[in-house]
Amino acid sequence: MNILIKNGTVINADGRCIADVVVKDGVITEVCQGARQGDGSSVLFQRENKTDEPSPCLEFDEVVDASGLLVLPGSIDVHTHFELSFGDTSPTGDGFSSADDFFTGTRAAACGGVTTIMDFVTPEKNENLVEALEKRKSVADAKTCIDYGLHMGISELNDRVLEEMADVKAAGVSSFKVFMTYAFKLTDDEFKRTLTRVKEIDALVMVHAEDHEALEANRAEFIATGKTDAWHHYLSRPEEVEAKAVKKAIKLAKETGGTLYIVHLACAEGLEAVIEAQQEGYPIYAETCPQYLNFTCDVYKRPDGRNFICSPPMKGKESQYALWASVCQGARQGDGSSGFFSRWSKPDEPSPCLAPDNAPTFGINTLATDHCPFQTYEKDRGKDDFTKTPNGVMGVENLYPYMLSQANKGILSFERVVELCTANPAKIFGIAEKKGEIAPGKDADIVLYDPTKEFTISQKNMHSTIDYTIWEGTKLKGYPVRTYSRGNLIYKNGEFLGESGWGRFIYD
């Protein structure tokens, strides 16, 4: 299967050009800038031919005229929760299952320009980690429509687990997820030992950072005094609760030298701590999610506030601005002068781009979604009590279009969106050889984006199974019109064209 995508504007993290992209058997073989003559049909084919004889043109099964469109690497969402069950999920039980399985979740992803997702393995107590990995893979293999990876959850720590982490690494997975809160949290000492272990085996730890004691104390107080509306979900885990845990995680990472990846960072103070550690040279990465960029904690005052309940919760405006400032340009202050937060003290004024080229980027490294939606009736269980509402919101179909729309409106560059949504995730999670760029030798995971298309997000035009969306009514400028997964057209103009089971495990 040979495809020619011609005349599009190819955008990678490091720049853009008008070029033709040649795809052969699922792999990008050429990105030909300036090899086009007139209709773009002849010069590049000759390069394919190694003989001296003039040859007929390479036959294309499909020629796509991408004039006026952007040609982007597909997004890599490294944080999804498909088919996540906890508690008793029988009709009378009080447990929950996240709304999307690996099929509907990756279908939604594909329609939002995502070509790789990374989800989680949650081993049972005493379960062998590699066996748990294989089990989760077999579930995903049968259903995913795009390529996928998995992170290994660590919810108990002992010599066996530490030993098996090396086996997990040998099986291709080098990211381990720990929690600082919830029943399955690790103690500080266990967290530290995990960091030490990843240093030994050359892996990384992902952490959910919220201070358990502080938020539990808040919750107990609110429950005791009947303060159980959605607003108190936010008040139980406000900025300082997250910042305290982020700082502790960074401290432990510094002590051990282990590589740390902070998931869903949502507060300014935590971000400042991350930037400081990065500037000191520590291998510390931070991810944020679109819900923290587009919403503030004010959503919890709405009548449907419970539908926005996720942890960490959306924060106040100061944090929102800080995240945006970092997402837009990084805190690239080579000269160490003016703090970038000060530029956002007047939020209505656009922040000028002060970043010199080639300066290291500090701050937010990746964007991912933490996609973990629950149906309205499940969210409603917490109508009068936020502690009964399952945590999680949707976003896998929204992140890339939302960020690209922001770029299209001039808030940040398309290159930066590509860097945050695909190039950096590919590098951090070890798949940059195949993913994250439009370049020869890479998988043909390609999104064609129409910057002129107007789109309004609604539950009705989404491809998840979820019966509502926090993004309802959000207007976007520009939208993906095609998604290719390894050269296979899986989404076109609002329609899903993929198939379950197409996706491959990225570490095989």
Q: Please, what is the minimum distance in Å from the beta carbon of residue 261 to Zn ion?
A: 12
How many C-beta atoms lie closer than 10 Å to residue 391's C-beta? 18
Across 158-273, the runs of DSSP E, i.e. the strands, are: 175-179, 204-208, 259-262
Query: Is 77 a binder of Zn ion (CB under 5 A)?
Result: no
**How are beta strands 495-496 and 27-32 bridged, if at all?**
unpaired
Query: Quick one: which segment of 3-11, 238-246, 362-370, 449-457 binds Zn ion (CB under 5 A)?
Result: 362-370
Q: Please, what is the minimum distance in Å from the beta carbon of residue 108 to Zn ion?
A: 16
User: Measured between alpha carbons, how far is 70 from 16 in angstroms, rounded to an integer?
Assistant: 9
Whether the Cβ atoms of residue 370 and residue 392 lie closer than 8 Å to each other: yes
Residue closer to Zn ion by CB (options 194, 228) is 194
**x/- track of binding to Zn ion for residues 312-351 (CB under 5 A):** ----------------------------------------
Please compute, for residue 79, the number of CA atoms within 13 A of its CA located in the half-sphere on the CB side: 28
Whether the Cβ atoms of residue 429 and residue 15 lie closer than 8 Å to each other: no
Q: Please, what is the minimum distance in Å from the beta carbon of residue 204 to Zn ion?
A: 16
Q: Please, what is the minimum distance in Å from the beta carbon of residue 79 to Zn ion?
A: 6
Cβ-based burial of 91 (10 A; exposed 0-12, middle 13-18, buried ≥19): exposed
Query: Quick one: which segment of 100-108, 127-135, 272-280, 368-376 binds Zn ion (CB under 5 A)?
Result: 368-376
Residue closer to Zn ion by CB (options 260, 444) is 260
Cis peptide before 312 (omega within 30 of 0): yes
3-state secondary structure of 270: helix
Residue closer to Zn ion by CB (options 20, 77) is 77
How many C-beta atoms lie closer than 10 Å to residue 441's C-beta? 10
Q: Please, what is the minimum distance in Å from the beta carbon of residue 379 to Zn ion?
A: 17
**How are beta strands 175-179 and 147-153 bridged, if at all?**
parallel
**x/- track of binding to Zn ion for residues 187-226 (CB under 5 A):** ----------------------------------------
Query: Is 242 a binder of Zn ion (CB under 5 A)?
Result: no
**x/- track of binding to Zn ion for residues 441-480 (CB under 5 A):** ----------------------------------------
Q: Please, what is the minimum distance in Å from the beta carbon of residue 370 to Zn ion?
A: 4
Identity of the amino acid at 256: T
User: Measured between alpha carbons, how far is 74 from 470 in angstroms, rounded to an integer?
Assistant: 23
Q: Please, what is the minimum distance in Å from the beta carbon of residue 83 to Zn ion?
A: 14
Residue closer to Zn ion by CB (options 151, 416) is 151
Cβ-based burial of 348 (10 A; exposed 0-12, middle 13-18, buried ≥19): exposed
Residue closer to Zn ion by CB (options 269, 370) is 370
Residue closer to Zn ion by CB (options 83, 370) is 370
Query: Quick one: which segment of 23-31, 330-338, 369-377, 444-452 binds Zn ion (CB under 5 A)?
Result: 369-377
Residue closer to Zn ion by CB (options 12, 288) is 288
Query: Quick one: which segment of 28-36, 101-109, 370-378, 414-422 binds Zn ion (CB under 5 A)?
Result: 370-378
Residue closer to Zn ion by CB (options 237, 332) is 237
Query: Quick one: which segment of 38-46, 186-194, 198-206, 365-373 binds Zn ion (CB under 5 A)?
Result: 365-373
User: Measured between alpha carbons, how far is 451 from 138 in angstroms, rounded to an integer?
Assistant: 38
How many C-beta atoms lie closer than 10 Å to residue 349's C-beta? 9
Q: Please, what is the minimum distance in Å from the beta carbon of residue 418 to Zn ion?
A: 23
The size of the interface with Zn ion (CB under 5 A), counted in residues, is 1
Give every CB contact of residue 46 below 8 A, 6+ residues apart in sequence: 55
Residue closer to Zn ion by CB (options 182, 441) is 182
Residue closer to Zn ion by CB (options 287, 419) is 287
Residue closer to Zn ion by CB (options 186, 481) is 186
Q: Please, what is the minimum distance in Å from the beta carbon of residue 81 to Zn ion?
A: 6
User: Measured between alpha carbons, how far is 44 from 46 in angstroms, rounded to an integer?
Assistant: 5
Give every CB contact of residue 205 below 8 A, 6+ residues apart in sequence: 175, 176, 177, 178, 191, 194, 195, 198, 253, 258, 259, 260, 261
Query: Quick one: which segment of 37-45, 254-262, 366-374, 464-472 binds Zn ion (CB under 5 A)?
Result: 366-374
User: Measured between alpha carbons, how far is 300 from 384 in angstroms, rounded to an integer?
Assistant: 13
Query: Quick one: which segment of 17-25, 131-139, 364-372, 432-440 binds Zn ion (CB under 5 A)?
Result: 364-372
Q: Please, what is the minimum distance in Å from the beta carbon of residue 84 to Zn ion?
A: 9
Give every CB contact of residue 321 below 8 A, 6+ residues apart in sequence: 268, 341, 344, 347
Please identify which residue in 101, 370, 443, 445 interacts with Zn ion, judged by CB under 5 A. 370
Residue closer to Zn ion by CB (options 370, 419) is 370
Q: Which residue is nearest to Zn ion (CB)?
A: 370
Phi–psi pair at 384, nearest 5 degrees: -110, 5
Give every CB contact of residue 92 below 8 A, 6+ residues apart in sequence: none
Residue closer to Zn ion by CB (options 97, 333) is 97
Q: Please, what is the minimum distance in Å from the beta carbon of residue 482 to Zn ion?
A: 29
Cβ-based burial of 117 (10 A; exposed 0-12, middle 13-18, buried ≥19): buried
Query: Which residues lie near Zn ion (CB under 5 A)?
Result: 370
